[in-house]
Amino acid sequence: MTHFINLTLNGLASGAAYAALALSLVIIYQATRLVNFAQPALALVAVYAAYTVTQLTGSYWIGFASALIVGMAAGALVERVIIRPIAKTSQLNAIIVTLGLLLVIQGGVGMVWGNEQHGFRYAFSYVGRFSPADTFALVSVGVVALLLFAVYRFTPFGLRMRAAAFHPESARLSGVKVGLMLTAGWGIASFIGALAGMLAGPPFLSPNVFDVVFVFGITAAVVGGLDNPFGAVIGGLLIGLGMSYVSGYLGPELATLSALAIVVIVLSVRPDGILSRPTARKV
Amino acid sequence: MSQPTTQRDKRTAAPSGSDRTPPKTPRASSWASMPLPVRHLLLAVLGLVGVTGLLFVTGDLTALRIAAVGYTMLAVAGLQLLVGGSGQVSLGHGAFMMIGAYTMALLVLHQPMLPLAANLGIIVVVSIIAGIAVGAATARLHGPYLAGATLILAVGLPGLTHRYHDLLGGSNGLNIRTAGAPPFLQDLLSTSEWRALVVWTTVVIGLAVLATISSGRLGRRMRAIRDDETAAAMAGVPVGKTKVVAFVIASTAGGLAGGLQAYVLGTVTPSSFTLVLSLTLLAALVLGGIGSLWGALWASIAIVYLQIWAGDLAGAMNLSRDAENNLPIVFFGVVLILVLRFWPLGVHGALQSLRARLRARES
């Protein structure tokens, strides 16, 4: 029983990181109709920046802040320079471009910081059952998700963001700067992605440290419905729990493949995720 | 088939180079009157003769590289049929190569008396089964969902080697020894030249089959689905079945390529079948030209030789090992982005438009 409780608590903590990554995917999908396969790479840059800043200044929290800022800037830059010219051509091309970005950034990080692992500390002590680090993960993701909800729901800026995402044409007619909103969406999403990276990166960093995290993040986003931020958060926590049980009872090597099984089963039953409403299609 | 679908089909098939304007000279017309499979087989024999000639004028090291180009080309060609043909983006092609490679290694280790041809046959069967399993499971997924699911496959499958450590050898992988050239050829061919020949024989047969499928009815159906799934279904194309078949063909090509790779290198490790491999295959395909099997040739040459050039460049410029290892990846990423931005038909598309311009100048 204690084993089960430990697995549950661990699962919730790692689920927070998956939820954050899923949330960043969903924000971009809502804005651009594009699954951003480069999201783990953007988080990678942010976390490595934090690593370097922490080493230079000696302060973890300056590093943490710089990770979020670097992540946000990288996301906005990528949207402006790389995604926007290509997004109009075709969905296939846009997906492949994000994959190209993933290769470039992963390889680039490997060139600059090396392929070997670097030790990287947690925000707080990670010792014990439901450690301070675990609490921090859950609380920070919860706060960010609530803030995001409040901004989207209750501020004029959020209204413009939603308008730009759902009806770009009419939003543009009523004076919303749609392009700016898209850039802002990518910035916000990558900010949250960087947070996910800071939570999921430790104890070791290497250029492909986020491959598996991204697998769980995209599973969470798909399970919750790519169109639904609530779904992403709930999906993230559920996947965290599920993977924790699979790793604990069956073996950690099977976690990724069981994520595949979950994706396939969920999507076969509900092709757009659990929480999405079926879309009406005009013929 | 309804009129609009056929029209669209013709338009998209044109860049693939298989449909040309009616031939003018009598020689060309006898070539065109031959059935397609025969034409493709003749081209395959011609390709094999060319490779054999190349093997005789180059050294042993180049033979290994030529072999590498061969099996990579088969893998990319399978992916071409899937992505370029039916429009399904698979990021898990490396996983099928891994299945083929491990099947080959296990067969050589546990059934050493089986001949190579039998091994390759078994690999085809295993890959078909794997392709049916994955293809049927993902048949309802589309676009980004399919890409995501296959990405998970590519990341997750290498983990199995740790799970079944005793059978699959964990992260050290498996080492195999295969026979070299048969005795009566040993004076003529070195082991690596023989292996390159075996690889290319399999590859050209595989390519001939792929080319025949791609220009036949199945290929037309796939392109119809790629262009508009609803319209294809309206025209009587069995959408789900065709998608699964495309997946199976691609996985078979990938599995065979993996098996040949294991045969040439004599070793299989999980670290050679990472997500980066799958992404590199896709990137190279886009670079070569996604609409044509010829693109697969440029793509595989790029994959094999970039690795080598990166090593040379890093050596010449005194770059670190990290830079050397990551240079090809970065290059592929940059190329992927730039090609899609400025040159969406890849190298093959560029060559074709060049040829069209030359022809226009002649007339």
Specify whether B229 is located in the same domain as B185.
yes
The C-alpha atoms of residue A271 and residue B11 are separated, in whole angstroms, by 31
Assembly ipTM: 0.81
In the prediction, which pLDDT does B348 show? 77
Does A208 lie at the interface with B, CB-CB under 8 angstroms? Answer: yes
Surface of B (249-278) touching A: CB under 8 A: 274-276
- Are the C-beta atoms of B40 and B213 separated by less than 8 Å? no
Q: Closest to A253 (Cβ–Cβ): which among B137, B142, B163?
A: B163
Q: How far is CA B228 from the centre of its chain?
A: 25
The C-alpha atoms of residue B120 and residue B256 are separated, in whole angstroms, by 7
Specify whether B113 is located in the same domain as B179.
yes
Q: Is the predicted pLDDT of residue B92 greater than 60, yes or no?
A: yes
Per-residue pLDDT of chain A (283 residues; tens, 9 = 90+): 788 887 888 888 888 888 888 888 888 888 777 888 888 899 999 999 888 888 888 888 888 888 889 988 998 898 888 888 777 767 777 888 888 888 889 888 888 887 777 777 777 777 766 777 788 888 888 888 888 888 888 888 888 888 887 787 888 888 888 888 888 888 888 998 888 888 887 778 888 888 888 888 888 888 887 778 888 888 888 888 888 888 888 877 778 888 888 888 887 777 777 766 655 555 5
Domain span at B165 = 35-273
Q: Do A100 and B322 touch (CB under 8 A)?
A: no
- Are the C-beta atoms of B253 and B206 separated by less than 8 Å? yes
User: So what CATH class is A2-269?
Assistant: mainly alpha
The domain locations on chain A are 2-269
Specify whether B265 is located in the same domain as B279.
no
Q: Closest to B160 (Cβ–Cβ): which among A93, A102, A253?
A: A253
Provide the 3-class DSSP secondary structure of residue B267.
strand
- Are the C-beta atoms of A76 and A187 separated by less than 8 Å? yes
Q: Which of B273, B288, B311 is the last residue of a domain?
A: B273
Specify whether B75 is located in the same domain as B96.
yes
Q: Look at residue B11 and tell me if it is in a domain.
A: no
Where residue B26 falls among pLDDT bands split at 50, 70, 90?
A: low
Mean pLDDT (whole number) for B278-293: 82
The C-alpha atoms of residue A75 and residue A69 are separated, in whole angstroms, by 10
Q: Which of B248, B273, B298 is the last residue of a domain?
A: B273
Specify whether B213 is located in the same domain as B325.
no
Surface of A (242-281) touching B: CB under 8 A: 251-257, 259-260, 263-264, 267-268, 271
Specify whether B225 is located in the same domain as B290.
no
Structure tokens at A153: 């729901």
The C-alpha atoms of residue A157 and residue A163 are separated, in whole angstroms, by 10
Query: What residues of chain B lie within 8 A of the CB of A279, using their CB?
Result: none
pLDDT in tens, B232-278: 888 888 888 888 899 899 999 999 999 999 988 888 888 888 888 88
Nearest Cα residue to B99 out of B278, B219, B220: B278
Surface of B (278-317) touching A: CB under 8 A: 279-280, 282-283, 286
Specify whether B166 is located in the same domain as B312.
no
Measure Cα distances from A47 to A42, A143, B323, B330 in Å: 9, 20, 20, 19
pTM, rounded to two decimals? 0.82
Q: Look at residue B327 and tell me if it is in a domain.
A: yes
Q: Look at residue B13 and tell me if it is in a domain.
A: no
The C-alpha atoms of residue B80 and residue B93 are separated, in whole angstroms, by 11
The C-alpha atoms of residue B82 and residue B88 are separated, in whole angstroms, by 6
Helices (H), B175-274: 191-215, 217-227, 229-234, 239-265
Q: Look at residue B212 and tell me if it is in a domain.
A: yes
Q: Look at residue B30 and tell me if it is in a domain.
A: no
Specify whether B288 is located in the same domain as B255.
no
The vertex-B46 CA angle with B44 and B47, nearest 5°, equals: 65
State the DSSP H helix or E strand holding residue A59, giving kind and residue range, or none if neither: none
Q: Look at residue B217 and tell me if it is in a domain.
A: yes
Specify whether B87 is located in the same domain as B209.
yes
Specify whether B255 is located in the same domain as B332.
no
Q: Count of domains in chain B?
A: 2
